[in-house]
Each structure stands twice: as structure tokens, then as C-alpha cells.
A and B are shown apart, each in its own frame.
Chain A
Amino acid sequence: MATVVATVLDEERPDPISEPAATDPRGRLSQLLATRPDLVITALLVVAVVLVQGLNIDNFPTVSDDEGTYLAQAWAIQHGKGLAHYSYWYDHPPLGWVQIAALSWIPALIWHGPLVVMHARVIMLPVSAAGTALTYLVGRRINLPRWAAALAAVVFGLSPLSVTMQREIYLDNFAAVWMLAAFACALSPRRHLWHHIAAGLCAAVSVLSKETMLITAPALVMAVWRGTDKATRKFSLVGFFIAFSTIGAQYLLYAVLKGELFPGAGHNSLIGALQYQLGRGGSGNILKAGSVSNMTLHWWLVRDPLLIYAGTAAALAALAVRRLREIGVAAVLLVAVAMRPNGYLPAMYVIQVIPFFALAIAGMADTGVRGLLRLRFGVLGRLDWLGLGRWRLGPRDLVAVLAIALAGVVAPQWEAGDETADTAYSNNEYVAAADWIRANIPDPAHQRIVVDDAMWLDTVRDGFQPGLGAIWFYKVDLDPAVTRTLPHGWQDLDYVVLTSIIRQDPNGLPTVRAAIAHSTTVATFGTGQQQITIQKVDHTGSGQ
């Protein structure tokens, strides 16, 4: 033991490698590749993912009302109106849209697109970039070789399902990235107490971005256990838990300070929202045809069946491989929760699973390759029985053949999916409707227009009063603060922008229905499912 008490600061010696030796740029790049290969690989992966996801990001997929919701809430934060533009009702912890608000200066730098939600999607690119880099990093930290870690990052960022979902302004995208960061910290090779505290912080931010990420917490605890040394584990675990719980407790503290922890008359409450979420009608058995969950699953399968099937299989198999176990546990827990016979399964749920599927797939690919390379072919490998006397088949050849074959199966599938994503125009109707409103409705400051969440910010931008002039359609009937301002019911409304989201609304919403019934169509955009019509409410009419 020569480790006494070493307490002198090591004098920094000049590192011969980091000295700028060559001026030839090619030399520098290859030098960088030689000294920091992971950095170069990560940079290339990030560029590829950002390019594929960024191309046509505004036009595909169709803007969803959730994107509009979060963006509008971020807008409320930016404008100092609190956590939401209507009263905040603890539907989700607010850290997700706090981050959206923090990033929303980015789109303005680049271009002002026709629809606010569309051009705000740019803020998801740095999120995807961080997710890609972190997937690679976590891959390396569970001892994947570089090719496998890169494979995980590619699956994470380039699967058609990822390209579609990660473009959208969903809280889940933020939560998944923070959870990846938590795993990366937990498995840090330096086993530094600070890294384990940081893992707790990242996990708390993740859960406060989207509460369902909590499902993966047991796997993260396993990762912290594995990432710590016996000598310092007690301190590391306590650091992790304390960081996680004290940051998480800020949400409770907020509710307490507002007097909104417990349900009561006249105010929203954290516990009330929790009761609502737990009692929320399920979306049915995922495996039963016709249920909403099953339709959601089908929608995922249409985008990328390979990721779903291979990911599930790899996650289960990963449970048996020591270095992949935490990843496997995280993925299996998420899958198990999705399969609850009567749980609620939102379409963006899959976003949380993708990174763990990606890592499990890459991990199992690496395990498979290692197994194959250990095989001995003996006589079989000589191939003279096939008449190919001079050729010998080794395990490496087999791996190469399999890799090419798999790429041949996956590539066309992904190519088609990603091409759709990069070329389709799914938001033309929304753009046209927004343009029409801007050009044809005079004096917006004194008009009351009912819109879905996706269009709300555009109407506000055009001069309608946020909240009571431009109104989220379900607030008309469900928010007493809004209903109170409509003493004559539907007759106080001027326009309804009828989109598929409003047509499909399950809540009934009598006032909105009545307004639509007493209106005439003044403009129509698109056909079928995606059709948008602008209804002018006829205040004197008796309805049709």
C-alpha cells in the first residue's frame, strides 16, 4: 500500500499528445479520432439525427393538441402569467413546460413559420441531440463496444417512430432525456459521490417533467447500486435519494404554499388531480382488438414494427445478461405498465420506452456477436463440401453476413418511414385556416373564437384576447371562470374553428355543440379526417 495520505496537488505535466503538433487539418481530425474516438462518433451521430429529424420538422407529423397545450402553458410562463394561461390544475408537474419556455427563444432566431406550434418544434432538436449523445454514453457505460453504443444511438434517433415522436413538443421527450442523464451519472466510471447526487437530481427533473417516468426508478436505483463502490456506497445512495426526494418535494411544497395540496371548494389541488388521474377511464386492453390502447399500439407498429417487437424481445432477454440488467428492468417495467388491462395509455408513452429498447437491442446484438465469435466451425467451416475448396468460413464472416442481412431487412423499412417524415405535408389545412383567420376576421381584439389547443397561440398572435377571446374549446364548458363570462351561452361566441380534435371530443361540451349548430361554414380546408372548417356563429339564427 503506497497510497498514504497523498496530499500534494499533482503538478500538471505537459501532455505530449495534446500539444498542437500538426497544422494539417486532416491530421488534426485523425488525431482527434485517435485520441477521442467517442467524441467524434457522438458528434457524427448527433449531426445525422438532427439532420433527419430537423428536415421537414414543421410539416410532419400533424400538430397535436398536446403540443399546443404545453406550448401555450410555456407561453404563460414566459409572459409571467403563472404556470398556465387558465388556472393550473396539477395535470402534470410543470417542469416540462418550464423547459419548453426556457428554450422557446430558439425558433424566433430561425424563422417565423405560419403556425406557432409548427415552428416551435425546432426546440425539440437540441433535446433529441442530447438524447442521442446520452444514449451513446449510457451504452458505453454498460460496457458496450463503440459499434453497439452507436447502434443504440441510431435506433434511438433514427427509427421512424423516434423521428415522428421526438419531433413533437411532448413532455415525455424531456423526461426521457433526463432519465438517460440519470443513468449516465449513476454508471459513471469515476464513482464520484457528486455524480450519484447528480443522478438523483436528473431523475427528479425527469419525473417532474413527466410523472410516468417514475416507473423506471427501480432500475435506476439498481444502476446506482452497481455504479457505486462498497466503501462509499452508503454515502452515494443517501446522496442519490436525498437529491431525488428534496427536489421532488418542491412540487409538494408549491402546492402547500398555494394552499392547493388537498381538494376543497373553489380551487384546484394536487391530491384532487391525482385522484382524477388514477380514476381516469382506462383505454382498454392493449392486446384486445378495438380498444383504444390497441389502436395506439397499432399506430406505433405502423411507424416501426421492428423497434416494438425487437425492443420487447431484447428487453426480456437483457434481464438475463448482467451488464444489461438495469436497462432490461427499466424497459420491462414500462412495458408491463402499458399492458395493464385497464390502464390509460397515451400515444406518446412510447417515447419513454424508446431509449431503453434501443439500448437493449444494441446490448443483445453485442451479446449475440460475442457468442458467435466464440463459435468454432471446424470441418463445417472449410466449405469444400460446397465445392468451394479454397474458401474458409470463420465466425467473423458469419457475423458480417448476418449484419448485412439484417441491415437489408431494416434499412428499406426505415428508409420508407423516414422519407415520409422528411417529405410529407400534414399541416397544410391548419396553415390555411390560420392564414384565412388572419386575413378575414376583422377586429380580433373584440371577437371570441373557439379553437383547439394547437391553434390557440396563432389566434393569440393575431390579436385575440388570450383566455377569453381566444378560448380553448373545452374551457367553454368545463372552466367556470370562462363559462361565467358567457351569460348568453353560445350566443356570446363569434367563431368556432372546427378541427378533427373538436369533432372527436368525448366530453359532449353542450355550449360548443350549440354554437356549432347555430353557425354557418365560412371557409373549408382539406377533406375527410383532416378537414378544418371555420364556423361563424349566427347570433340571431334559430339553428339548423
Chain B
Amino acid sequence: MISAVIVLCSLMLFAVAVFTLWWMLHAWRTPETLAATKFADPDGTGALSFSLLVPARHEQAVLERTVLRLLESTHPDFEVIVIVGHDDPDTAEVAHRLAALHPEQVFVVTDTHEKKNKPKALNSALPTCRGDVVGVFDAEDQVHPDLLSHVDHAFRDTAADVVQGGVQLINFHSSWYSLRNCLEYFFWFRSRLHLHAAKGFIPLGGNTVFVRTDRLRANDGWDQNCLAEDCDLGVRLSSQGAKVVVAYDSAMVTKEETPDSVVSLFKQRTRWNQGFLQVYRKRDWRSLPSLRQRLLARYTLATPFVQAFSGLLILVGVAVALFSSVPDVVALISFSPLIPMVAMFAFEAVGLHDFGKQYQLTIKPSHYLKLIIGGPFYQLILAGAAIRAVWRELRGRKDWELTRHVGAHLGVEAGTAS
């Protein structure tokens, strides 16, 4: 009996780990796949107009630099709409000053909602957008001047409804968890999202995402009550059959920073996971046309929880196999989930090497060591966040947790890396 349970659990864990690994490595499957993840070179003619939304909250320190950098964009036709809260005079002051300096291109929208969150801010600005395409950036994003031209080209070249650009956390050296966090983004935007785009089911990232304005308006913008409004939008659009294109180019990714402490990482993950749960329960994904897409949707939205619990289960399984007497074959099988796990570590090390090369960062042996040793601890944080998310959801606590603390924090609610 105990043997049967061990074998069943081990094989399930093995399958889960192999799937996760396989999807994580999507971009490197063949040289052709890798080549196809890039932006095509633009043809120089801009045909679309862009409205770039920059929600800013207590971000007076970084906002100006971000907007000025956006204004350096080589694209001929775009506007920047900064969204500030009515209760945030410092940021509003910076925004209004920028609008006065660039009256043709920079506009300010004031969000007057009593309780604030990012989807509410974005929805406040949606009616004023004049462009064909709405793009979302965070207040501390560094955006490449050529990005818009490339995105413009991608829209026209592929008849896309949505273009998701790359987002990359870059401060891998800040701490042990930021190293893992950076790599998570690397694998997510460099590889996994492309698979989702190809399969027709994609949870979008929170920024560097571009959507045709009419599509957005037809959907009444973002879901104000969802903690992962970006993911939700992606799921809704995929379910409507929208064509989503993902492009990654290390020269043109939007660079960001990791959460500033383990606690904020933990809270951020709780929010994402809770958001994923909400999206799962909204059931928009059920209108996806094929069973495979629906399975992928189920699995993707449940991934944070599967990952959290499989980590724990592996430990339990190995302990049971070592300390209880089961037949040799059963013991051997109980170790099988370790195979994809070891493989995962090895591929992460290769990913770290690749990451260093693409962003011209020096990766030292100590970083590889940190990556490996940090793995289980990072997994623990994720598992904790997943459990806490379930707990909060059950208790009906659906508020955004980051209200007062930080401004730099808001930036990182970006990707939906899981």
C-alpha cells in the first residue's frame, strides 16, 4: 500500500517536473525556435500611433527619468500618459511639470478612486488614449528608444492584437534571492512566454505589453478587482482568440529591479498567486477552443501551487524511501523526481551563463554556488507564499498589500513569472 502511494506520487512529481522543465526550455529547443523569439528589424516606417500609460504612485524620484527616456523614442507617433493619484501631490507635481514642458506628448490623468490599485489607474486613463495601440510601463522602467519602432513593425508584420515585449530584472548581484529572481524572469520572458503565445494561451506581463486600443475598450479595460490584472487580461484575450506575439531581444528588454527584501518578495508572490487563483476561478479560460489549451491554462494558473507542494512532497518521499523498508525498485522510483530536478539546476546554471553573456554581466563561480544553494530556500519562500495566498483567498482578503510602504515596489508588479 505504502509502496503504491510512493510510486504514484513519485511518477506524478516526475511528470510535473519534466513538463515544467520542458516548457522552461522552449526557446532553446532548436536553433530555429531561438531565432524566432527575436524582434524582426523594423522597416523604418511607423504606421501605428501609441498611447503609453505610466501609472505612478509615490514615484517622484524615478518618474522624470522614465518619462524623459520614453520621449527619446525614435518612433514618430506616440503620447505618454502619466497616471497619478489625487492623494499623491509629490508625484503629481513631477508629472504636471513634465506635461508642461512637453505639451504635445505628455499628459496627466488623475485617478480619484478611494482605494487605489494598478488596474483602476489604467482604466482611468483608457478613455483619453488617442493611439491605435496602448502600451503599459511602470514608473521606473528603462525603455529602449527603438522599442516602439520594433513593436510597431511586429504588429503590422504579424497582424497581432497584442505584443508582449521582454522584461528583465537585472540586479542579480544584490542578494541571493535576487539572483534567482532575475533568472526566473530570464526563463519566463526569454522562453516560456513564447511557448504560451504559440499555444494560444498566455498570461500577459504587467508592463512592456502593447494591446490594440479597440480590443482593450471592447473588454472594458482591466479587471479592477483582480490582483493579477495583467494575467487576467491575457487570459481573456486568449480566450477570445486574440493573436498574441511575444518578442525578446536582450538589447530591447525593459530593465527592472527585484523586490528590495525577502519580505516584499514574499508579499509580491502572495499577491500574484492570489491573482492566479482569482483568474482561475473567473473561468474565462474555459472558453478556449481546444482541450489542450484548457489543460495548459489550468496547469499554468495552478503552477505556483503545484510547485510549492511538489517541493515539499519530494522531501517527504525521499525520507519515506530512506527510512521505511520498501522494495528496492520502489525506493529507486521514489528518487526519480530528483532526475528532472538535478537537470533543472544544471539548466539554470546554463541560463545564468547565458544571462551574463547577453547583458554583459560578470558571473562569478560564487554566483553559480549561490544559485544552487539558494534553490531550496527560494522554493520555501514560494511555497510559503502559495500557502498564504490560499489562506488569504479563503478568508476573503483581496486588498492590495503594498499600499503605503514603498514606491520602488510598484515597479515590480510587472511580470507574471511564477
Contacts and interface: CB of A to CB of B under 8 A. Distances in A.
B19 interface: no
A5 B198 CA distance: 9
A3 B30 CA distance: 14
A9 B332 CA distance: 40
B233 interface: no
A4 B31 contact: no
Contacts of A254: 328, 332
Nearest to B244: A7
B12 interface: no
B41 to A, nearest CB: 6
A83 to B, nearest CB: 9
Interface in B335-360: 335, 338-339, 342-343, 346-347, 349-350, 353-354
B227 interface: no
Contacts of A236: 28
A229 interface: yes
Nearest to A258: B328
A232 B190 CA distance: 13
A236 B347 CA distance: 10
Contacts, number: 101
Nearest to B338: A246
A232 B28 contact: yes
Contact of A238 (B34, B198, B347): B347
B37 interface: yes
Interface stretch (A25-33, A191-199, A409-417, A432-440): A191-199
Nearest to B322: A257
B157 A4 contact: yes
A191 B243 CA distance: 28
B347 A246 contact: no
Interface in B316-331: 328, 331
Nearest to A2: B40
B328 A234 contact: no
Contacts of B31: 191, 229, 231-232
Contact of A235 (B158, B198, B350): B350
A355 interface: no
B37 A5 contact: yes
Contacts of B179: none
Given A1-B41, A2-B40, A5-B37, A253 B335 contact: yes
Contact of B30 (A4, A7, A192, A246): A192
A190 B31 CA distance: 9
Contacts of A246: 338-339, 342-343
Nearest to A250: B332
A344 B326 CA distance: 39
Interface in A218-272: 229, 231-232, 234-236, 238-239, 241-243, 246-247, 250, 253-254, 257-258
Contact of B350 (A3, A6, A238, A257): A238
A8 interface: yes
B39 interface: yes
Contacts of B153: 4
Nearest to B331: A257
Dominant SS at the B interface? Answer: helix
Contacts of B200: 9
Contact of B245 (A5, A191, A234, A257): A5
Interface in B243-275: 243-247
Interface in A271-304: none
A192 B36 CA distance: 15
Interface residues of A, number: 32
Contacts of A9: 198, 200
B385 interface: no
A278 B175 CA distance: 49
B30 A234 contact: no
A297 to B, nearest CB: 40
Interface in B23-69: 25, 28-31, 34-41
Nearest to B194: A7
Contacts of B35: 3, 231
Q: Which of B31, B35, B37 has the most CB of A within 10 A?
A: B31
A258 B328 CA distance: 7
A387 to B, nearest CB: 60
Max chain A Cβ within 10 angstroms of own Cβ: one of B30, B36, B154, B331: B30
B36 A5 contact: yes
A190 B335 CA distance: 32
Contacts of A241: 346
B304 to A, nearest CB: 25
B82 interface: no
A5 B247 contact: yes
A239 B335 contact: no
B247 A234 contact: no
Interface string A364-391: 0000000000000000000000000000
A208 B291 CA distance: 39
Interface string A65-103: 000000000000000000000000000000000000000
Nearest to B39: A4
A215 to B, nearest CB: 25
Contact of A4 (B243, B247, B343, B354): B247
Contacts of B41: 1
B197 interface: yes
B332 A193 contact: no
**Considering residues A191, A194, A242, which has the most beta carbons from chain B within 10 angstroms of its beta carbon?**
A242
A194 B153 CA distance: 33
Interface centre among A7, A192, A232, A239, by most chain B C-beta atoms within 10 angstroms, is: A7
Contacts of B246: 5, 7
Nearest to A4: B40
Interface in B156-206: 157-158, 194, 197-198, 200
Nearest to B345: A242
A191 B30 contact: yes
Contact of B38 (A3, A234, A250, A257): A3
Given A193-B30, A254-B332, A3 B40 contact: yes
B165 to A, nearest CB: 11
Interface in B343-389: 343, 346-347, 349-350, 353-354
A234 B37 CA distance: 18
A3 B36 contact: yes
B167 to A, nearest CB: 16
A47 B36 CA distance: 43
A194 B30 CA distance: 9
Interface of B: 25, 28-31, 34-41, 153-154, 157-158, 194, 197-198, 200, 243-247, 328, 331-332, 335, 338-339, 342-343, 346-347, 349-350, 353-354
24 contacts: A1-B38, A3-B35, A3-B38, A4-B247, A5-B36, A5-B38, A5-B39, A5-B40, A5-B197, A5-B245, A7-B158, A7-B197, A7-B198, A7-B243, A9-B200, A229-B31, A232-B31, A232-B34, A234-B350, A235-B28, A235-B347, A235-B350, A242-B346, A246-B342
Given A3-B40, A235-B28, 11 more contacts: A2-B157, A4-B38, A4-B39, A4-B247, A7-B197, A8-B243, A194-B29, A231-B31, A234-B350, A239-B347, A246-B338
Going nearest first, the 10 A-B pairs with the smallest beta carbon separation are A229-B31, A4-B40, A235-B28, A7-B197, A246-B339, A5-B245, A242-B343, A5-B247, A232-B28, A193-B29
